[in-house]
Amino acid sequence: MTQTEQRPALLGVDGEPLPATMWHVARRPRWIALLGLALVVAAIFAWLGHWQIERSVESVQVVNPETETTKVLSSVATPQTPFADSLGAQRVSVTGEFDPDDFAVIGDRVNGGETGYWLIGRFVDDANGASLPVGLGWSATREGAEAAEPSVAATSTVTVEGRYFPSESPTESDFESGAQTVVSVAALINEWPGFDGQVYGGYVVSDVAPSSLSDIDSAPPASDVQFNWLNVFYAIEWVVFAGFAVFLWFRLVRDAFEREHEEAEEARAEAEARGATQPTRAS
């Protein structure tokens, strides 16, 4: 017999009529209050599941969605301060001059699938006098990169546009071999003779290379949004918990309904058994 099936009219052990269906039990104040509590708990669990879903998306979103809007470097970055994560690959413009004595060639730089060399120049920002390395262009050979230095050194005030990247960490292998393979602001400062000024925390890769060099590959940050499946799994768990809170209330109501009928039937069976064993009096 299901919980919603009509049962014969019986009296409970307390003398009150038994509920015809479990929904008569559910309408009692006690169970209505417990339902409210179950719904509150379910709502909290559902909110936690929603929060986990948001986390799964936020963890892979681009930190700064405005990287493709070109901004003046001095308006978004401050010299002598750490590089802000939100500025990674930000398009910037900066106006100033290249120092004719401070160029370097960086090796092991991949461009279009080929390994070659970058020409790096120290650029002085007219806005505040601070310096920063600028990646000017790529060459398949060191000699090709070095050959472009005179044409860049001869320029006067120019505006460089490109992407702004954080300084790379210096490597022990570079120190041992005497050849640079990373764009490290700290390492380059030591090679700028007599330098004693402020520097930015990153470097710029120029959009346009000198005529004798190739443009450096400088892709925008990845913008594809993917789910963090661990957070998605946690979200599913919270939804299951929310459903279980309501299901638990349902089971408790059904158990209470069935228990009342079972106790009433047991009490009636005991009463009938006592009546059958009563001795018959003589007239």
Q: What CA–CA distance (Å, rounded) separates 51 from 57? A: 10
Within 13 A of 63's CA, how many CA atoms are on the CB side? 9
Asked if 213 contacts 94 with a C-beta cutoff of 8 angstroms, the reply is no
Percent of the chain with pLDDT over 70: 84
Looking at this protein, which amino acid is placed at residue 79? Answer: P
pTM over 0.75: no
- pLDDT for the residue 121: 96
Whether the predicted pLDDT of 76 surpasses 50: yes
Band of the pLDDT at 59, cuts 50, 70, 90? Answer: low
Phi, psi of 211 (to 5 degrees): -55, -30
pLDDT in tens, 80-94: 999 998 888 999 999
Q: Average of pLDDT values for 18-26?
A: 85
Asked if 179 contacts 106 with a C-beta cutoff of 8 angstroms, the reply is no
Whether the predicted pLDDT of 3 surpasses 50: no
Contacts of residue 264, defined as CB under 8 A and 6 or more positions apart, other chains included, come to 10, 11, 12, 13, 18
Asked if 117 contacts 106 with a C-beta cutoff of 8 angstroms, the reply is yes
